[in-house]
Structure 1
Amino acid sequence: MGRKGTPGPHGEAADADTDGEAEAGQAAAAGAGAQEAEAWPPGAGPGPPLWRLPEELLLLICSYLDSQALGRLGQVSRRLQRFTSRDLLWRPIARACLNSGFTRHGTDLVTNIPVKERVKVSQNWRRGRCRQGTLLKWRRNLMPWMQLEGGCLYLSQAEDIHAYQLCPDGSSLRRRPLAIFSGHEEDVCRFVLASSHVVSGGGDGKIGLHKINGTFSIKFSAHEQEVNCVDCQGGVIVSGSRDRTAKVWSLSSSQLGQCLHTIQTEDRVWSIAISPLLSSFVTGTACCGHVSPLRIWDLTSGQLMTHLGRDFHRGAGVLDVLYETPSTLLSCGYDTYIRYWDIRTSSQKCVMEWEEPHDSALYCVQSDGNHMLASGSSYYGVVRLWDRRQKGCLHAFSLSSPTSSPVYCLRFSTTHLYAAVASALHVLDFKTP
């Protein structure tokens, strides 16, 4: 259920769109001022007192208003509506919101949508208000993986990867794929988009490399058993396998398919990710032995740098791992926890953790880079939204009830969340609930 907070100076809990009756009352109270501001004739002397202020001072005054006050001020006149809609005023408010397109350090990742509009949609994420839909269905159960880039959604379906064009509303897609990337003899386990390529790992033990906008395609033998996970950055591919090894590969044309390092992990590798600094990578393993399931390796030498955590119980395998910054990462898996690690603070203990309340394994986790997390559970297609400033789950959505299926993968934009279960691809539309 959604929670209502007390609006602060830039409180995320404050509503950007005010209640209809409150707006009507405010508009009526300011009706005379609105007519004066709109009807003030040119050359008839100074306008209303508010407009006599320098713009810099007016901006400073408005910067102390929360989203509710800014919304009400914008009801006074069209001129104030335009003025109070400026991104500059909404940016501090948006940074405190869920999934508004801003990272923790203030970087704007979504520059094509006005910030005020994103704050409005953010209230729907916080309250769990959305419209559910099904984009695709397939006849047999699969373990799909996907990536979202721009207006395209890439989805693995058995041995192939399909690229679909999303419609402008974000809640539907064109059923005919833009492209199909083939080559594996068994199901695709994981894939990533990097350097204008699709890099995939398959159950046939091979890695596939496909040019997104071209015909170039190649695959090469990588592991003795299925390639459970891959990542690619900076001209390097890393892969992990059930055969208890992780490998580093060159993406350069002169060394393509050449293994640079083979690392004996002593355990099946379920997840892998390269650090944004391109100096190291992390592996998440099955935790069936006596070693930590999370270990960080030097990308250049292949040597173990450190392991994360301690006292993991047997079988607490890490199914998904995600770097947020070069020193912070998220992990989740069979032990039902999302964990947030900061290696600057400690490699032995995570900074924060969130427990899946129904004791379900967590197959995947995603972050907005700021306050929101989304996770996919192992039963009934349950997607959960989390505010990392709180311990408990914000909202849960069951996408495959009454049939039970894990959420194998999820991705989201500032307006939509896409989740892949065993037999379908679902969408949650938070823009038009």
Structure 2
Amino acid sequence: MLLPQLPEDVLYHILAYLDHITLSRFSQVCKAVYTFVNRDNVWKSVAKDFLNTGIRRDGSDLYPNIPLKDRVRTAQNWSNGFCNRGVLIRWRKNLLPWLQMDGDVLFLSQAAEIRAHSVRQNGKRILSQPFQSYSGHHGDVCRFVLNNSYLISSGSDGTIVVHSRRSGSQTKLPGHSQEINCLDSRGELIISGSRDTTVKIWTLTSGSSIDTISMFDRVWSIAIDPSLSSFAVGTACCRTTSPLHIWTIERLECVCTLGSDFRHGAGVLDIVFESPFQLLTCGYDTFIRLWDLRLSTQKCVMEWEDPHDSALYCLQTDGNHMMASGSSYYGVVRLWDKRQSQCLQVYELSSQRPSSPVYCLRFNSSHLFAALATSLHSLDFRQSPGSSS
């Protein structure tokens, strides 16, 4: 019996022992083998060991419409630092922009507006002109999140605006006495945090907050866990000794306070949940930290330090091995492999002085977008620098 004539389950078992190079060479044997080897099921065991292939630790797939073989090829460029850099948009005034992505749409806040840009390829360029904009604040937008068909923004005017992306309607929720530095939303829930030292709980349909929590310190970051059972609050660590607090949603109880060894002012600027029991944080203390929230642990289990001792403004993870962080100086973006203690790749996006922090970054399978004070940058990892599109 020839190898291609073996039952499919036997072939899957055999091919699971091959690495990506051997699989690529084996696919060139004949058309039948090529068709079989290009299946996602063949590449899944290989893809989980690469950076940013979309295969998460829980087995879910972030990019099911992109063949896994292509994602593995692009993942090698992420690891090796092969990319084409570009500046998509520039503006004159210094701003504190924020980013979110939804499929092929990139949302960028600029002053009091949030603009939607298409990131599909148009020839060789990504479209820089917005096709839609959202407004409603009397001051600058501080943060915004996407929740299904809603875009929810908070501003320096102390208000929250809930935008319906379908109907175009908006609902304004006044509540904080000072600027709202952070918010998150999942399901019907909205949680906001402000410089006024309070956290407020809202719903998408409520006209006012349904609960208020005093944190006794400025609130810099908030994240709701994927199971909607708890949320994390990052504070400035100026008036309290611990900057990270975990609260239950049902009872609104603080179940644990983490980071008692932080120095004064080493606040948490960004929080990302990887699971209901694991979250990543970064901030003024110059570290990325992985926290285990299970009752038997409740502590930092891994940490990565910025080699230039820079504050870290933002963070994103692929849910598996890769992290990307944005530094406070010279527009520096760093890629990290959690399996290594040292930074994997570094990109200095700004040569201007004074330097700009990376206020926010987002990535998909092929691109990383970074927002600085006066520009939006793109790193394209689909091919090596100088190669044709």
For the aligned pair, the TM-score class normalised by the smaller chain equals over 0.9
Note if 1:176 corresponds to 2:126.
no
What's the counterpart of residue 233 of structure 2? Answer: 283
Alignment of 1:167 with 2:117, yes or no, is no
What fraction of aligned residue pairs are identical, expressed as a percent? Answer: 53
Q: Which has the higher strand share?
A: 2
Q: How far apart, in 2, do the equivalents of 1:74 and 1:394 lie?
A: 30
Q: Given that residues 293 and 299 in structure 2 are in contact (C-alpha distance below 8 angstroms), is that contact kept between their aligned partners in structure 1? A: no
Structure 2 counterpart of 1:349, which letter?
K
Q: Secondary structure at the match of 2:300?
A: coil
Tell me the residue number matched to 2:29: 76
Is residue 187–residue 202 contact of structure 1 (8 Å, CA) maintained in 2? yes
The whole-number CA distance in structure 1 between the counterparts of 2:65 and 2:168 is 31
Match of 2:264 among 314, 318, 331: 314
8 Å Cα contact 2:112/2:135 also seen in 1? yes
1:75-122 per-residue CA deviation (whole Å, 9 max, x = no partner) reads: 222332222222111100001110001001221121101111111111
Q: Deviations over 1:153-175 (max 9, x none)?
A: 11100011111122236974334
Specify whether residues 206 and 170 from structure 1 end up closer, same or farther in structure 2 by C-alpha distance, changes over 3 A only. Answer: farther
Task: Give the root-mean-square deviation of aligned CA atoms.
Answer: 1.7
Is 1:59 the counterpart of 2:9 in the alignment? no
**Structure 2 CA distance for partners of 1:82 and 1:185, relative to 1, 3 Å:** same
Equivalences, count: 383
Q: Say if 2:369 is the partner of 1:418.
A: yes
Paired with 2:123 and 2:316, the residues of 1 have a C-alpha distance of 19
For residue 291 of structure 1, give the secondary structure of its aligned residue in structure 2. coil
1:343 & 1:51 partners in 2: Cα distance?
48
2:311 matched to 1:358?
no
Q: Does 1:147 align with 2:97?
A: no
Q: Distance in 2 between matches of 1:396 and 1:269?
A: 29
Select 1:239's aligned residue among 172, 175, 192. 192
* C-alpha spacing 1:171/1:237, structure 2 compared with 1 (3 Å): farther
By how many angstroms is 1:345 displaced? 6.3
Greater shift, 63-72 or 384-393, is seen at: 63-72
Given candidates 371, 390, 393, the residue that maps to 2:340 is 390
Q: Report the 3-state secondary structure (helix = DSSP H, G, I; strand = E; otherwise coil) of the residue aligned with 1:61.
A: helix
TM-score (norm 2): 0.95
Q: Which amino acid aligns with 1:194?
A: N
Deviating more after overlay: 330-339 vs 51-60: 51-60
Aligned match of 1:338: 288
| Contact in 1 for aligned 2:174/2:208 (Cα 8 Å) | no
Give the whole-Å Cα distance in 2 for the aligned partners of 1:374 and 1:357: 14
> Which residue is equivalent to 2:387?
none
* Aligned counterparts of 2:6 and 2:333: Cα–Cα separation in 1: 49
Q: 2:323 aligns with which of 344, 353, 373?
A: 373
State TM-score, norm by structure 1.
Answer: 0.85
Deviation of residue 308 (structure 1)?
A: 1.6
1:52: how far off? Answer: 4.5
How has the CA–CA distance of structure 1 residues 309 and 345 changed in structure 2, closer, same or farther, with 3 Å as cutoff? farther
Higher mean Cα deviation, 347-356 or 171-180?
Answer: 171-180
Change (3 A) 1:76 1:314: same
- Which residue is 2:51 aligned to? 98
- 1:21-60: per-residue Cα shift (whole Å, max 9, x none)? xxxxxxxxxxxxxxxxxxxxxxxxxxx8434544433333
Secondary structure at 2:210 match in 1: strand
